[in-house]
Every structure is written in structure tokens, then in C-alpha cells.
Amino acid sequence: MLEIKNLHVDIQNINILSDLNLKVKKFSSIIGRNGAGKTTLMRSIIGVLKIRKGSIIFEDKNLTNTNSHLMSKLGIGYMPEDRRLVPELNVRENILTPVWLLKNKTSEKQELDRVLEFIPEIKNFLDRSSFQLSGGQQKLVSLARAMIVGKKLLLLDEPFEGVAPALADRLVELIKSLSKLNLIALITESDETYSKKINSEIIRIERGKIL
């Protein structure tokens, strides 16, 4: 279980999240308009933003202000809203980046094969430079990169944002398949259009607080 208690997060001395409490046991979607605090929450969980007050607990481990590079070791994968692929690397290398951070090259092929079995269309552009990909293809690669280490917890920030409806439906299909695995996922979306299709628990956020 992922449990967030009394979370307070500021950005440039402006309070963004205030006394936020949340429990996530399986698949849940955080729904809120732009500026509601969704991405701030995700970046706080993954350790990118500093937490002023409160705690983040996952599987009885305190993750509060844990270095983001350590999250991979804990089985936590993150798909950022802006994808953040490395343009100098090809698709294969982008997907494997978290494995390299773990310094576990012996598992490279096994982990890559596992992810490609789940998202087989990536095989068609595996050796292509990431900057040559369409926005939709980049989303698939970003999901694969999160999956390669996210065997216990997946944080998917606006996975459906800015993609064509056909690809959004494909992402729904993939994420629904993930729900059959023994992992927890937290998804953000500006409205519940696609979260309803995933059948995830709907949680609403407004002005940095869970409603």
C-alpha cells in the first residue's frame, strides 16, 4: 500500500499541496484540472520535490524526501507527463536507463524482453533515435521505461495527455492489462474520460487537497 499522510509541499515559497492524505491499495486515478497539484504530488512521491511536512510510506518504508535515483531499487517506476526521453539515446537505451542506474547489466536482456512482450509495437522502432519518434511513440517508450523497474508501484502522470484517440485507447488497453499484475498504480488525468475505462478508483484533487 502507498500511504501519504499530512503532505505539505511548497514550490518557490508557494504552497502547492496542503495537508494531503491518501491511501492507494491497487489502481487509482487522481483527477483534477491543470494546477490542482497532480504533477506536484507525483514528483513529491518520486523524490524530485522536497517535502516540507508529512510522510510518504510504501510497503512500510518511509520514502519521504528519498533520492529519486533510489526509487528504482524499491520497484517504483515513473512516467512523467513530458516523457523526458534522452534525445541522444535510441529507444532501447532510453528504456534501459533505469536498469543502468541499478548497475545490473546482467538483467538487461531479460527485463527488456519482458517489457517488449507487453508493448510489442516498440520492437518496430527499438533502434531509432528518440527524437525521431512521434508523440504517441514517445508515450509508449516512456511507459516501457517506467515498467522496466516499476514492478511494485507505477506512477503514471497524465499518460493520455496530448495523444491521438487511437493511441489513448491503446494506452488504456495496456494499463488495464497492468491492473492484472500484482502491483499498485497511481494515474493522473485532468478528467475521468480514460480512467473510467481502466476501472480505477477515482480520487479528486483541487487546490492541493484531496476532496
Residue 138 CA: distances (Å) to CA of 65, 94, 186? 29, 10, 20
Q: Are 31 and 186 in contact (CB under 8 A)?
A: no
Q: Are 36 and 44 in contact (CB under 8 A)?
A: no
Residue among 192, 199, 198, 197 at smallest CA distance from 30: 192
Total count of domains within the chain:
1
pTM check: above 0.85? yes
Identify the CATH number of the domain in which residue 146 sits: 3.40.50.300
In angstroms, the CA 79 to CA 10 distance is 22
The pLDDT of 30-58, averaged and rounded, is 96
pLDDT band at 199 (very low <50, low <70, confident <90, very high): confident
In angstroms, the CA 90 to CA 27 distance is 31
Using CB atoms within 10 Å of the CB of residue 99, give its burial: 0 to 12 exposed, 13 to 18 middle, 19+ buried: buried
Q: Is 126 left (phi over 0), alpha (psi -120 to 50) or beta?
A: alpha
The pLDDT of 19-32, averaged and rounded, is 95
Residue among 117, 167, 158 at smallest CA distance from 140: 167
Residue indicated by cell numbers 527488456: 112
Instruction: Give the cell for residue 85.
Output: 526521453
pLDDT at position 106: 62
Range of the structural domain that residue 91 is part of: 2-210
Give the whole-number percent of the chain exceeding pLDDT 70: 99
pLDDT band at 104 (very low <50, low <70, confident <90, very high): low
Using CB atoms within 10 Å of the CB of residue 71, give its burial: 0 to 12 exposed, 13 to 18 middle, 19+ buried: buried
pLDDT at position 38: 97
The pLDDT of 75-95, averaged and rounded, is 92
The pLDDT of 170-190, averaged and rounded, is 93
Q: Which residues pair with 206 in a beta bridge?
A: 209
State yes or no: pLDDT of 85 exceeds 80. yes
Q: Is 30 left (phi over 0), alpha (psi -120 to 50) or beta?
A: beta
Using one digit for the tens of pLDDT, what is the confidence trace for 132-177?
Answer: 998 889 999 999 999 999 999 999 999 999 889 999 999 999 999 9
What's the DSSP call for residue 90? B
